[in-house]
Amino acid sequence: MKIVVVGSGSIGSLYGAFLSRIEGNEVILVGRNPHVAAIRSNGLIIRGIMGEHIFHLDAVDDVSDVSEADLILLTTKTYDTIPAITAAKHLVEKGAYILLIQNGLGTEELVADAVNSTRVLRATTCMGALRTEPGVVTATGCGLTEIGSRFPENYEFVELMSKMFKECGFDVRASTNIEGVVWTKTLVNCGINPVGALTGLTNGAVYKNPELRDLVIKLVKEAVEVVKALGIELTTDDPVRYALGTAKATGNNINSMLQDIMARKRTEIDAITGEIIRLGKELGIETPSNEVVYALIKAIEAKYLEDPQGTPTIQHLGVKELVDTLSTT
């Protein structure tokens, strides 16, 4: 199978590397320099809890350099989804399936509309990875990857993808309720990610602090009310316990939102907390705590995006400062 990984940052590089181990697979990474240049020169180095490996893969910085593919593995940030898949539309027109491995809500429908195709699959992952230097990715956490599709005609391909990911060493499950899977992961993200990003703490440090744990609970409970109103069937009976359990199990992880802030990049807060707030307003459900953390993240983000050459150090909030800010909600 010819696989093109569009958005080959940490997670995309990690999946692409191990998928290339399967006999008959050809993997091409599409990313940005200097990451791509380093891979072309020295190979892709994977370190961390999955061992140390060097993968010699083809890597390009423009998807138009690729003429055909069986699968597009799209691992961009949510706000880059449509530009990325539009640039790869020529591959879809030749029959490629698309597998989105992303945070956030609603991207499958947007992609299907953008490329006029229902060959769209969606996955969530609890894998943790950091791009520690150009050409080097460190795996920081192993967790479940769930794959499904909102389009029933794709389920045979969902099963094929699940089998392939398992074969290269990932913990994978095929799902017939990918909407519930995505929402369950979003509840985890809306609770853990903003709290970690605002304080600069790992998932484990957030979990171990009773006051921050209470904030996570408050954020998740608000989002659960939105889920109930939408009639979504989650994949857990206790989303609060599941979110806290995820924080504990991925204790060493620096969550993706905190990684973005540390790198002075745009975060995915709009596709996670922003969507919960938007849907809450449509449904007449109040989400005051989510609104506060959303505003705080957007303020931090705006400051460094408006002044990219400014002070490189991001001032995180202290635990008491964050707790006091949310205590009025």
Q: What is the pLDDT of residues 126-152, one digit of tens each?
A: 888 889 999 999 998 888 999 999 999
Q: Which tens digit of pLDDT belongs to each residue from 251-286?
A: 888 899 999 999 999 999 999 999 999 999 999 999
User: How many C-beta neighbours within 10 Å does residue 293 have?
Assistant: 25
Q: The tokens of 125 are what?
A: 């992952």
| CA neighbor of 289 nearest in space, from 298, 277, 281, 301 | 277
What is the reported pLDDT for 116? Answer: 96
Q: Which residue bears the tokens 């350099």? A: 65
Q: Which tens digit of pLDDT belongs to each residue from 33-90?
A: 999 999 999 999 999 999 999 999 999 999 999 999 999 999 999 999 999 999 999 9
User: At residue 312, does pLDDT exceed 70?
Assistant: no
Give the type of residue at 91. L
pLDDT band, very low/low/confident/very high, at 322 (cuts 50, 70, 90) = confident
Which residue ranges form the domains of the chain, and what is each CATH number?
2-176 (3.40.50.720), 179-326 (1.10.1040.10)
Catalytic residues: 185
Question: DSSP of 15-45, one letter per residue?
Answer: HHHHHTTSTT-EEEEE--TTHHHHHHHH-EE
pTM of the entire predicted model:
0.92
| Length in residues, the chain | 329
d(CA 219, CA 239): 11
Give the type of residue at 316. H
Q: The tokens of 194 are what?
A: 């903003």
Q: Which tens digit of pLDDT belongs to each residue from 196-227?
A: 999 999 999 999 999 999 999 999 999 999 99
Q: What is the dihedral angle through the alpha carbons of 38, 41, 44, 46, rounded to the nearest 10 degrees?
A: -80
User: How many C-beta neighbours within 10 Å does residue 7 have?
Assistant: 24
Q: The tokens of 11 are what?
A: 């997670």
